[in-house]
Amino acid sequence: MKPSANAYNVVKASEGLRLSAYPDPGTGGEPYTIGYGSTHGVTKGMTITPDEASARLVEDMTEAADAVNRLVTVKLNQNQFDALCSLAFNIGQANFRGSTLLKLLNQGDFAGAAKEFDRWVYAAKKKLPGLVARRKLERDLFERPV
Q: Which residues are catalytic?
A: 15, 24
Nearest to 36 by CA among 60, 59, 53, 55: 53
The DSSP result for 100-124, as a single string, is HHHHHHHTT-HHHHHHHGGG--EET
Element (DSSP H or E) covering residue 22: strand 18-22
Nearest to 25 by CA among 133, 114, 139: 133
92 CB-near residues (< 8 Å, 6+ apart): none
Cα–Cα distance between 44 and 146 in angstroms, integer?
41
Residue 46's SS3 state is coil
